[in-house]
Chain A
Amino acid sequence: MSSEKLLNEMPVVLSAVMDPLDFRSIMMMRKVCHDFRVFIDKVAPSSSKTKILLTVRPYDVELILEDSETEVRYDKILLNHQSLKSFTLQYESRYESEELKCWFEILFDGIIRERTWYKRIPGTEDNFLVMIPHYASEFIMQSKMSSEKSLNEMPGVVLSAVMDHLDFRSILRMRKVCHDLRNFIDEVVPSSYMTRIIVTVRPYDVELILEDSKTGARYTTIYAHRNAQSGRSGCRSIRGFTAISLEFLRHLIEVLLNNQSLKFFSLEYETYYESEELKSWFEILFDGNRPHNSHHQIWYSIIPGSERNFLEMEAVHTITMVKCSQTHFG
Chain B
Amino acid sequence: MAPKKNSAKRPQPSTPKPSAPARIVKVQSSDGHILQADVRALLLSSTLAATIKGYDDENKPLEKLEVNNVVGFTLKLVLEWCEKHKEDDPAIAQAEKDKKNIFIPSWDRHFLTKLPMGNLFDLITAAYHLDITGLINYGCKTVANSAKGKSTEEMRELFGIPEPWEQPSTSTATWDD
Contact = CB atoms under 8 A, between A and B. Distances in A.
Nearest to B98: A164
Interface residues of A, number: 49
Interface stretch (A16-24, A155-163, A282-290): A155-163
B73 A153 contact: no
Interface stretch (B7-15, B54-62, B142-150): B142-150
B144 A112 contact: no
A178 B31 contact: no
B160 A113 contact: yes
B166 to A, nearest CB: 10
Nearest to B31: A144
B40 interface: no
Interface in A115-171: 115-116, 130, 132, 134-136, 140, 142, 144, 146-155, 157-158, 161-167, 170
B155 A174 contact: yes
A295 interface: no
A174 B76 CA distance: 31
Chain B interface secondary structure, helix, strand, loop or mixed?
helix
A5 interface: no
Nearest to B97: A161
Interface string B134-160: 001101110111011111100110011
A96 to B, nearest CB: 11
Nearest to A192: B100
B125 to A, nearest CB: 6
A240 interface: yes
Nearest to A140: B73
B176 interface: yes
A178 B116 contact: no
B100 A165 contact: yes
Nearest to A88: B76
Given A144-B73, A176-B176, A165 B159 contact: no
Given A165-B100, A167-B148, A179 B114 contact: no
A239 interface: yes
A112 B118 contact: yes
B121 A153 contact: yes
Interface string B106-121: 0000100011111101
B73 A146 contact: yes
Interface in A167-213: 167, 170, 173-174, 176-179, 181, 192
Contacts of B76: 86, 140
Contact of A177 (B102, B136, B148, B152): B152
Nearest to A111: B116
Chain A interface secondary structure, helix, strand, loop or mixed?
loop
Contacts of B124: 154, 158
B140 A162 contact: yes
A170 B116 contact: no
B141 to A, nearest CB: 5
A269 to B, nearest CB: 22
A116 B118 contact: yes
Contact of A114 (B116, B125, B177): B116
B144 A150 contact: no
A170 B147 contact: yes
Given A174-B155, A179-B169, A240-B176, A147 B161 contact: no
Contacts of B167: 178-179
B33 interface: yes
Contacts of B139: 158
Nearest to A141: B73
Given A86-B76, A177-B155, 7 more contacts: A144-B71, A161-B137, A162-B147, A165-B100, A173-B150, A173-B152, A215-B100
Interface of B: 31, 33-34, 36, 71-74, 76, 100, 102, 110, 114-119, 121-122, 124-125, 128, 136-137, 139-141, 143-145, 147-152, 155-156, 159-162, 164, 167, 169, 171, 175-177
24 contacts: A68-B34, A68-B36, A112-B116, A113-B160, A115-B116, A142-B73, A144-B73, A146-B122, A149-B125, A150-B121, A154-B121, A158-B128, A166-B144, A170-B144, A170-B150, A173-B150, A173-B151, A174-B147, A177-B155, A177-B156, A178-B162, A179-B171, A240-B176, A251-B177
Interface of A: 50, 68, 85-86, 112-116, 130, 132, 134-136, 140, 142, 144, 146-155, 157-158, 161-167, 170, 173-174, 176-179, 181, 192, 215, 239-240, 251
When A and B form their complex, which 5 residue pairs have the shortest distance between CB atoms, in order from nearest?
A165-B144, A151-B159, A161-B140, A114-B116, A149-B121
